[in-house]
Amino acid sequence: MKILVNNTRYTHLSPAEMGLYSRHLLIPAIGIKGQLALKNAHVLIVGAGGLGCPILLYLAAAGVGWIGIIDADHIDVSNVHRQVLYRVADKGKNKADIAKSRLQALNPYIEIETYIEKLSVDNAEALISRYDIVVDGTDNFVAKYLINDACYLNDKPLVYGAIMQFEGQVSVFNVRDENGARGANYRDLYTEPPDAALAPNCAEAGVLGILPGIIGCFQANEVIKLITGLGRPLSGRLLVYDALDAATTELSFSASLDNPLRDPNWSHVLEEMPVVCSSAIASDQFVMTLEEFNDLIHEYTVIHLIDVRELHERELISIGGEHIPLAEIESIDNECLMDVPIILYCQSGVRSQRAASLLANKFPHSQIFSLKGGISAFLASDLYPEMMVNLVLCQCGGLRTCH
């Protein structure tokens, strides 16, 4: 495979860089030529979370000269067990800003640019066009399809990764072979997203803390291979890793004529995938913040509190209320819905917002809310002790549950 990056902005390494990258330079297949390719490379990482952290750490340490980070999220304590760039003391700070600070301390000889925003149809094409390679560190299907389509439109290789619980996936999309033919992409692998109920994100389904480290390192390795021209990229191949069995499985796939991106009538205009994923909340409709919830339980003596998670989740931890899983939420009868607030909660606030939407359609005159951030945000909040006291007092004073 030929070297992907042919920029010549940098033509030599400083003595300090020679020392830092000395173990790379000892490898004949890398040497000065390969290290300069790394130094001249521009790589964009979309998402500075579980996958993004190891990707960023190892690409920065390897000497990738220009790294872009786009992420609008803030650090939560529940991130720290897998997002190893961050500390508990970083709670509330922007991920991209903290990542940049830590990476610059790791390697002061590279440039890092941050974008404190979400990738969208409005900014994706302009942003991606500036980079040689894009790396997907996201956890939702809306973003993954958008990244894939923007990379296809701009003819940029995309290094894909995905994780859930104990399993991860890695592949490389949109790579041109020696004959110039463009390789398969995400839409060849997954024509359409799965049903939202079957595709929870890490906040909903959980993830083994070390798994994103493993998958992220696989992704970083693919980036380095693409930049230096070493090895064979995972183009047309999906690597599936099972952390419990320590086993890898490789599945082959190819470019499909049914891919809408290859449709001659495709307008070449980016559009957001019209799906509602379990990891993507479309709006703040029906959402109640923790502060508002705390005020409410302190003010009202009667509320309806409903846990829409599954039973095994509730058995681990609960803040009370009636247990009605999301799949059964529409079975609630009208007698339950009196003129008092109905608060629904789940692990991260995604399923409860879906439940709130379903109930609001059924009972449009009721006060129905989803607890923003769910139990994860509840436990991490500075208001946690006060809210627990208020919940106990509220229940003693007449908290109502639906039967």
Q: Which residues are catalytic?
A: 202, 346
* Strand, helix or coil for residue 370: strand
In 157-205, which residue ranges form alpha helices assigned H by DSSP? 186-189, 202-205
Tokens at 145, concatenated: 């399809």
SS3 percent helix, strand, coil of the chain, rounded to 5, is 40, 15, 45
Ranges assigned E (strand) in 137-200: 158-164, 167-173
**Residues near 48 by beta carbon (within 8 Å), at least 6 away in sequence:** 56, 69, 71, 73, 83, 85, 95, 96, 99, 137
CB 277 within 8 A of CB 193: yes
d(CA 134, CA 162): 15
Three-state SS sequence of 198-218? HCCCHHHHCECCCHHHHHHHH
- Integer Cα distance of 341 and 236 in angstroms: 52
**Residue 293 half-sphere exposure toward CB, CA atoms < 13 A:** 30
Return the axis-axis angle of helices 31-40 and 211-228, rounded to nearest 10°.
110
Question: Side chain identity at 293, as an amino acid letter?
Answer: F
Contact 343, 306 (CB under 8 A): yes
